[in-house]
Each structure stands twice: as structure tokens, then as C-alpha cells.
Chains A and B, each alone.
Chain A
């Protein structure tokens, strides 16, 4: 189905009120309408210079750049040696973005004054500078509607909660059983220790088994095990000729080789741990 639609943008032209009606200094944001993409395309000013024809006076009508770096507009009227009068000037400007315009002022240098000042800016803007500002603007795009997705919280699910409670109950039950089992085992062990620790218990002495054990011991252990060793002191009998013990080079090589292998192993473990860290 074909659906009729239309879009249009409109350039609006206008002019400000007198920017200097409250004084010789003004702020552009207080003068210009709050419109995106607004551009200033003209300026008209008028004032009356009051002065002695013999004196010097220069009047500047000016606007600073918004970033404070110089003037975006500045015009000087040199009244030096001239009688005062009302001056009226108009300027056509090349559509300068309003964002560039800083504070404006009329500055008087010299002897004299300015009365009845009037500074008027002319401007234009596109009503569809921001296409999203109006559905009728060319380039307007329907905003994407994000569907509301219900968030599933398993902790709010009754079935899950039942299962969790059941598991908790089983865990608790199992833990209780473990605790009782350990308690029983401890009781038996304690009873056995008590029973076995009593050497006078005739139930624990079996003469036959004892004789058999002695016989086995006699067969396994050497006779010297039972011989008495005469006491005394065994003195060191090794005598070193020359008093210097030479290094065992074979042993040192072996020791160094083992140390080298050990160092390699430590290094490889270190490198491995370093790689795992990265």
C-alpha cells in the first residue's frame, strides 16, 4: 500500500531587538533566539556621537569571538577633528554561525560620548537543522523503540525455590548423618583405646601367641642383636698425609651438573608461571 507523506524544511529570517538598549555591552545569548544552526547574516548599528569637533574620538562597534581569540566583527568610526553626528551603518555578513559570536560592545576611545545606540543583528536558521526535531523534516528517522524485555529472576521462581530448599534440606540431613557417624566412630575408637591400654587385662594375653612371637623374633634377628657390646670409645683412625684435602673433581662436576639441572628446572617453572600470568 502506498502511503502519501511529505517533508519540508523552512529557512526563517529575522532580526534581533536593539542589543545596546540596556548599555554599551551585551551578551549574544541574551539577544539571539535559542535555535540550533542559527547564523548571523547582517548587522546594522546607529548611534549619535556627541563631541567637540576639535577633539579626537574613535568609536568601535565590535563582537569578540566566542573563544575570546580576537574579534569576529569590529568596525571603527573615527570622529577625530569632526563634529559629532548620528551614524548609521549596515553590514552584510557571510552567514556566520551564532556559536562563533562572543560578547558585543561599543567602545569609545577619546573625548566624547555615544548616545542612543542601536545594534541590530539579522539572522536566519533552518527549522530542520536537526532533522530529528520534527517528524516532517527531511531525513527524519523514526526512533527505534526498544521492546521491554522481562527480566527473569530465578530466585523469584517458586519451582527453583522449592528445589533449592529441598537441596538445602538434604545437605543438612547428610551433614547431620556425617556428624553422627563421626561421633559413633570416635566412641568406638575411644573404647578400643581404653580396652587395649589396660595391660593387666588377662583377655588380651595369649601365651601361645606370645611364644610364637618370641620364636619368630629369634629366627629373624641376628644373634648379635642379643649380644652385649662392650662399652668404650671408637677413636678416628684416618690420618691425612700433608693435611690438605684435595677437591674431588668428579664429585664437583656431578654437583655442578645437578645444580645446573636444578636451575634449569626452576627457570622453566618460573617461565611457565610467567606465561600463565600473562
Chain B
């Protein structure tokens, strides 16, 4: 007598084999706030003890442009300089003054940014409540000693501009 066996592959045997899978989800975020240095600043030297960006004193005020693609998600923080990043050796105190103003707008509603800005130390903080481009002009003046002459040489200072997500 012959025996017939039906061989049926069991699905459980397949399922019984251990399996593991994973897949990636990749995303990138482009900033919706872009900072562009439109005009580099230049210090004029109207007096031996003074460096200033005032155009009337031979200086050039730096201009920074903020392009905001989405309103109400960012704030701009701009610091006018408080020190030289490079300069001859200075053995006396430098007194720094400066300011930041909105000099140009792409929307009339940006024109009250200056009214609503918050100032602390050398920082100027603006809430970017309107999408579009805003131009900020920075002024900076450095007085050396009381009326002491700056040593000859190259002087460099930096304006820091940040776009901080709210």
C-alpha cells in the first residue's frame, strides 16, 4: 500500500521567519527669511579721534536687506558694532554709538517697524509682521578716548544681523 502525502507549504512557516524594514522620510526646510548685505559700510575719519559712517563725514552707512516670504514668523535682530574686529593696538577706551533704522520698505505697513522696534544694549529687534523686503540702515560711530587720536591703520567692525524664528 502506498501513502500519499500532500505537502502544503505552511504560510506560518514563512511568517515565522523574522523580518524588519525601515524607510526614511527626508525633509528640508529652506529659510523663509533671507538676509542680504546690500551696501558695505565705510568709516570716515572727520576727526582724529573719531570714526563714523555718517555720509557727511565721508562715511557710508551699511544697508542690510531682509526678505521675508512669510509674515509673522520671524524677527530681525541687528546689532550695531561695539568693538573693532581688527585694528591697531588701542590702549584707551573706545566709546561706541550707533543706530538702526528702516530706510526702505516694500510694503507701506513696514514703515512703522521703527516705531515698534525694541532696543536693548546695541541690539535693535524688529518683528517682521509683513512679508516682503525691508532695508535696514546702520549707523556707527567710534570715539577714541575723550579726544585722543586713533593710531594709524586699518579698522574693521562688524554689524551682526540675525533672523530669528518666533
Contacts and interface: CB of A to CB of B under 8 A. Distances in A.
Nearest to A82: B111
B109 interface: yes
Contact of A82 (B104, B106, B109, B133): B109
Nearest to A81: B112
Interface string B87-111: 0000000000000001111111111
Interface string A72-100: 00000111001111111110000000000
A83 B104 contact: no
A49 B114 CA distance: 15
B144 interface: no
Given A83-B114, A83-B115, A88 B108 contact: no
B126 interface: no
A78 B108 contact: yes
B135 interface: yes
B108 A82 contact: yes
A85 B101 CA distance: 11
Interface in B18-74: none
Contact of A86 (B103, B107, B115): B103
A88 B133 CA distance: 8
Chain A contact residues: over half helix, strand or loop, or mixed?
Answer: strand
A53 B116 CA distance: 13
B165 to A, nearest CB: 25
A84 B111 contact: yes
A86 B106 CA distance: 8
Contacts of A85: 102-105, 108, 110-111
Q: Which of A53, A77, A82, A85 has the most CB of B within 10 A?
A: A85
Nearest to A80: B108
A77 B104 contact: no
B108 A77 contact: yes
B111 A88 contact: no
A150 B63 CA distance: 77
A86 B104 contact: yes
A57 to B, nearest CB: 9
Contacts of A53: 112, 115
A88 B104 contact: yes
Interface in B75-96: none
A82 B103 contact: no
A78 B105 CA distance: 13
B111 A79 contact: yes
A83 B133 contact: no
Nearest to A77: B108
A29 B135 CA distance: 33
A90 B133 CA distance: 10
Contact of A89 (B102, B106, B111, B112): B106
Interface string B106-128: 11111110110000000000000
5 nearest A-B pairs in the assembled complex, by CB-CB distance: A85-B111, A86-B104, A82-B111, A77-B108, A88-B104
Given A49-B108, A79-B108, A82-B109, 19 more contacts: A77-B108, A78-B108, A79-B111, A82-B108, A83-B111, A83-B112, A83-B115, A84-B111, A85-B104, A85-B108, A85-B110, A86-B103, A86-B135, A87-B104, A87-B105, A87-B107, A88-B106, A88-B133, A89-B106
8 contacts: A79-B111, A82-B108, A82-B112, A83-B111, A85-B108, A86-B104, A87-B105, A88-B135
